[in-house]
């Protein structure tokens, strides 16, 4: 079975600073994908970034980067130059490659950006 653990229920960051949101995962699969989603108070889940288990380079998408450490089974999200609009819930999720498997989500981290 797959499991995602997000140990930070809530975090605060000053505007324009960088912040790291932690995510560890547990799986016996060799081939899998890791995803980060943002959920504002409106409810919609917004896809941010993806990392495949066989990707050697860390994924980046604009101000988002994923710090992938396979041996430690961690996939932390780094947001650079935080903006007030980054205040939201952030979910780490994974899904294995084989079969048509659903996303497994962590409990989420609530990020608050302070002016």
Partner 1 sequence: KAGVTQTPRYLIKTRGQQVTLSCSPISGHRSVSWYQQTPGQGLQFLFEYFSETQRNKGNFPGRFSGRQFSNSRSEMNVSTLELGDSALYLCASSLEGRGLIDTQYFGPGTRLTVL
Residues near partner 1 (CB under 8 A) are 31-33, 35, 37, 42-47, 50, 52-53, 91, 95, 97, 100-108
Cα 24 to Cα 63: distance, rounded to the nearest angstrom: 21
**Smaller CB separation from partner 1, 63 or 95:** 95
Residue 54 C-beta: closest distance to partner 1, Å: 9
**Smaller CB separation from partner 1, 13 or 27:** 27
**Smaller CB separation from partner 1, 11 or 45:** 45
CA atoms within 13 A on the CB side of 11: 24
**Smaller CB separation from partner 1, 17 or 40:** 40
Residue 63 C-beta: closest distance to partner 1, Å: 19
Buried b (16+ CB within 10 A) or exposed e, 21-35: bbbbbebeeeebbbb
Pair 35, 92: CB distance under 8 Å: yes
Residue 28 C-beta: closest distance to partner 1, Å: 17
Cα 50 to Cα 97: distance, rounded to the nearest angstrom: 13
Residue 45 C-beta: closest distance to partner 1, Å: 4
Reduce the DSSP state of residue 26 to 3 states and report it.
Answer: strand
């Amino acid at each position: 079975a797959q499991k995602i653990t997000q140990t930070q229920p809530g975090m605060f960051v000053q505007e324009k600073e960088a912040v790291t949101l932690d995510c560890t995962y547990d799986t016996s699969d060799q081939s899998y994908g890791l995803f980060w989603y943002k959920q504002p108070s409106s409810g919609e889940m917004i896809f941010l970034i993806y990392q495949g288990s066989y990707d050697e380079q860390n994924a980046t998408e604009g101000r988002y980067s994923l710090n992938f450490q396979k041996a430690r089974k961690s996939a932390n999200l780094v947001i650079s130059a935080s903006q007030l609009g980054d205040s939201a819930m952030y979910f780490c999720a994974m899904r294995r490659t084989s079969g048509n498997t659903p996303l497994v989500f962590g409990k989420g981290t609530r990020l608050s950006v302070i002016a």
